[in-house]
Amino acid sequence: MVEVYYHDNKDTPEDFTKAHNSGEPVSLEKLAEIGVFYRNVKTLDELNQIAKDRDYKNRDVVNLDLDAFNNDLDAYNAKMAQFYKEHYHEDEEIRYVTAGEGYFDVRDKQDRWIRAKLSPHDLLILPAGIYHRFTLTDELKQVTAVRLFKDEPKWEAINRDTGKVSNARSEYVQSIA
């Protein structure tokens, strides 16, 4: 079951995969207020029903661990740093964890980081336009997840430091105002 809390903001480039739990929990209702959809999904039938209800037509499976990078620690660390860079997408980001665990961090209305630790059976849907980042946990360094898509899979991260504000970002900000 997901753990959700405010991030302690004490992470460094060397330890961002650690828990960084401030000790201040965040409710699932608080996540819903910023458009984040969470469910604990026990069966493939449940996942398929959510996909049908939300009009997701495509899916794939992604596995992230050191083996996926041919045990090249430098390549693995570079990819984790890339995923941890604050960004948003112009489409929803949907992840259903089937094995392992990882952290999704999202910004709340006050621009504070909320950290969600996902493990098997956790489904998280981030709305288009929300600033977020991702990393594997320091303990397992592995996750397998189903990614769902409304259309053909595409992946464009718009990093916050670029200053680009797309329609998706503007619409998201307006939706939570």
Name the binding residues for Fe(2+).
Answer: 87, 89, 93, 132
What strands, in cross-sheet order, belong to the sheet with 58-64? 37-40, 122-126, 93-100, 143-149, 58-64
- H runs (alpha helix) in 12-166: 28-33, 44-53, 73-84
Judge whether 103 and 135 are in contact, CB under 8 Å: yes
Question: Which residues are part of a known binding site for Ni(2+)?
Answer: 87, 89, 93, 132
Hey, which residues does 118 pair with through a beta bridge?
A: 102
Q: How would you classify the pairing of strands 113-118 and 3-7?
A: antiparallel
Structure tokens at 130: 């929300």
- Find residue 58's DSSP bridge partners: 149
Per DSSP, the three-state class of 145 is strand
Residue numbers belonging to the annotated binding site: 87, 89, 93, 132
Pairing mode, strands 132-136 and 37-40: unpaired
